[in-house]
């Protein structure tokens, strides 16, 4: 109030403008239609303002809630990863800008690591780009390669940002439901179609190391004819349980990567230097011991498989129907058998699982994420009885979740 008055005093000679300020501040009306038009958002972000994470992390922020929602490890990253970052924090030269497309020692380490999987050598400067998380790689790839009017096939359910990013590029998402796991044969079908129709492939492989017994991760870019048309995305956050480092990378042929690099030089230009150096050092440690059970790429999936099995068992024991994941650190479960009464939940337009998660967070102090958040409008109904639980959590968190679920089931059965 005081500040507004102060400003009004100095506007003495501008009666028209004074009137506008007075009216809008005191009456709370937007008297200047012209003003509100000019401050409108650019069309590219129209309709993209809501976000499942913003909504649900707010709910789960209550410390009394056991948070199995967001994919955020509450386990410690490996000791040597933390140690590398500590060491690097003491090195002065790493406090200034580094190379925009990726810190030299990091792109070299990534090239060395991934050459083990691809048949070709990977040029660290031309075929790798370091980005702000895998999220940043997705953004750079879509902005760099996808035009207004292009069609982009998105397989449902999908990590929720794919749809808004595709729409922001002015492109049209075409949704196709997933019917089976990505076996080698299914990937070959996708590869054949990409080649036949001369389509690009953006492959988000952030959970590439997290595959469980009896399963293998296949990189579609290694299939014949696919290297030249594929961008493969990886994540430090998911690889080393350091989601807060926000470092990711895109790997692909230079005729595609160069366009992601153009986006980079016009968006963030560079990523943080000390984090990139620490990541490079951590990678070198594990690159040297790829076959060793101590290598984090081997030890983490072992650790998580135990947690996965525990969650599956727990959910089954109370009549929920989990879908056992072959990889990643999430498990989705059909909650319809709990037959929870949600009639008092407001906002009846929301899908069942949104209401269910809000109810569960409030009443059971357990949070998850509604799976319909990972669907387009048309398929939401198919998945609205499913919720997603994250199990990259320390034992005490899973213990607390177990207590809640067991107590809940005792009420029902």
Partner 1 sequence: MALGGMFRNAAAIYLHLVGPFRGKKSGASLARCLHQTLAMTKRLQARRLDGIDHNPWVEFVKLASEADVVNLGQGFPDFPPPDFAVEAFQHAVSGDFMLNQYTKAFGYPPLTKILASFFGKLLGQDIDPLKNVLVTVGAYGALFTAFQALVDEGDEVIIIEPFFDCYEPMTLMAGGRPVFVSLKPSPNQDGELDSSSSWQLDPTELASKFTSRTKALILNTPNNPLGKVFSRAELELVASLCQQHDVVCITDEVYQWLVYDGCQHVSIATLPGMWERTLTIGSAGKTFSATGWKVGWVLGPDSLLKHLRTMHQNSIFHCPTQAQAAVAQSFEREQLHFGQPSSYFVQLPQAIQRCRDHMIQSLKSVGLRPVIPQGSYFLITDISEFKSKMPNLPGAADEPYDRRFVKWMIKNKGLMAIPVSIFCSVPHQELFDHYIRFCFMKDESTLRAMDKKLQKWKDELRP
Site for partner 1 in 40-69 (CB under 8 A): 41-45, 48-49, 51, 53-54, 57
Among 326, 310, 266, smallest CA distance to 399 is for 310
Q: Cβ closer to partner 1: 139 or 297?
A: 139
Q: Collapsing DSSP states into helix, strand and coil, what is residue 333? A: strand
Contact 156, 176 (CB under 8 A): yes
Angle in degrees, CA 249, 371, 344, rounded to 5: 140
Q: Which stretch binds partner 1 (CB under 8 A): 83-91, 202-210, 297-305, 366-374?
A: 83-91
Distance CA 83, CA 255 (A): 37
Q: Is 413 in the site for partner 1 (CB under 8 A)?
A: no
Does 225 contact partner 1 by CB under 8 A? Answer: yes
Residue 302 CB, nearest distance to partner 1 (Å)?
21
Site for partner 1 in 101-160 (CB under 8 A): 132-133, 135-136, 139, 143-148
The alpha carbon of residue 61 and the mean position of all alpha carbons in its chain are separated, in whole angstroms, by 19
Q: For tokens 């594990």, what's the residue?
A: 286
Query: Is position 13 an interface residue for partner 1 (rule: CB under 8 A)?
Result: no
CA distance 228 to 194: 11
Please report how close the Cβ of residue 387 comes to partner 1 at its closest, in angstroms: 20
Write down the least CB distance from residue 48 to partner 1, Å. 5
Query: With respect to partner 1, which residue has the nearer C-beta, 255 or 406?
Result: 255
Q: Which is nearer to partner 1, 322 or 328 (CB)?
A: 328
What is the spatial distance between Cα 50 and Cα 53, in angstroms, rounded to a whole number?
A: 9
Residue 395: other Cβ atoms inside 10 A: 12
Instruction: Report the alpha-carbon distance of residue 368 to residue 393 in Å, rounded.
Output: 13
Distance from CA of residue 85 to its chain's centroid?
Answer: 23
Interacting residues with partner 1 between 233 and 252 (CB under 8 A): 237, 241-247
Among 62, 74, 294, 378, binds partner 1 (CB under 8 A): 74
- Tokens matching residue 231: 């961008």
221 binds partner 1 (CB under 8 A): no
Candidate segments 164-172, 202-210, 314-322, 369-377, binder of partner 1 by CB under 8 A: 164-172
Given 263, 279, 280, 390, the residue binding partner 1 (CB under 8 A): 263
Handedness of CA 380, 191, 200, 276 (dihedral sign): positive
Q: Quick one: which segment of 192-200, 281-289, 328-336, 378-386 binds partner 1 (CB under 8 A)?
A: 192-200
- For partner 1, the binding residue among 23, 31, 55, 70 (CB under 8 A) is 70
Interface with partner 1, residue 269, by CB under 8 A: yes
Tokens of 121: 């050598």
302 interacts with partner 1 by CB under 8 A: no
Provide the token pair at 198. Answer: 């001369």
DSSP labels, 66-123: EE-SSS---SPPPHHHHHHHHHHTT-GGGGS---TT--HHHHHHHHHHHHTTSSS---
**Residues in 310-329 at the binding interface with partner 1, rule: CB under 8 A:** none
């Amino acid at each position: 109030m005081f500040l507004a008055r102060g400003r009004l005093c100095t506007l003495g000679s501008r009666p028209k403008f004074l009137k506008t300020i007075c009216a809008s501040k005191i009456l709370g009306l937007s008297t200047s239609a012209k003003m509100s038009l000019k401050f409108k958002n650019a069309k590219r972000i129209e309709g993209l303002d809501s976000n499942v994470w913003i909504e649900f992390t707010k709910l789960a922020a209550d410390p009394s809630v056991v948070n199995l929602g967001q994919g955020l490890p509450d386990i410690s990253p490996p000791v040597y990863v933390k140690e590398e970052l500590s060491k690097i924090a003491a090195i002065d030269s790493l406090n200034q800008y580094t190379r925009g497309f990726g810190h030299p020692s990091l792109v070299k380490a990534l090239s060395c690591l991934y050459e083990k999987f691809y048949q070709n050598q990977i040029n660290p400067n031309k075929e790798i780009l370091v980005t702000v998380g895998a999220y940043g790689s997705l953004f750079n790839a879509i902005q760099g390669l996808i035009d207004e009017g292009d069609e982009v096939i998105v397989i449902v359910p999908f990590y929720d940002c794919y749809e808004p990013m595709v729409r922001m590029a002015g492109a049209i998402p075409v949704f196709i439901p997933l019917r089976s796991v990505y076996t080698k044969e299914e990937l070959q079908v996708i590869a054949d179609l990409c080649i036949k129709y001369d389509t690009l492939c953006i492959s988000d492989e952030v959970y590439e190391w997290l595959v469980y017994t009896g399963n293998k991760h296949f990189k579609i870019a290694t299939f014949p004819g696919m290297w030249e048309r594929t961008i493969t995305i990886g994540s430090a956050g998911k690889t080393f349980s350091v989601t807060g480092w926000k470092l990711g990378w895109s790997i692909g042929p230079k005729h595609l990567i160069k366009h992601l690099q153009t986006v980079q030089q016009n968006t963030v230009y560079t990523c943080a230097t000390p984090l990139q150096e620490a990541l490079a050092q951590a990678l070198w440690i594990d690159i040297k011991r790829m076959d060793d059970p101590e290598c984090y790429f081997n030890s983490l999936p072992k650790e998580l498989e135990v947690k996965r099995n525990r969650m599956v068992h727990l959910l089954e024991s109370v009549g929920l129907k989990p879908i056992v994941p072959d990889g990643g650190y999430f498990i989705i479960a059909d909650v319809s058998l709990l037959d929870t009464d949600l009639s008092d939940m407001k906002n009846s337009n929301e899908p069942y699982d949104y209401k269910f998660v809000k109810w569960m967070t409030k009443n059971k102090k357990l949070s998850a994420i509604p799976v319909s958040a990972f669907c387009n409008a048309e398929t939401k109904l198919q998945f609205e009885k499913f919720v997603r639980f994250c199990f990259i959590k320390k034992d005490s968190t899973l213990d607390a979740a177990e207590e809640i679920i067991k107590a809940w089931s005792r009420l029902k059965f």
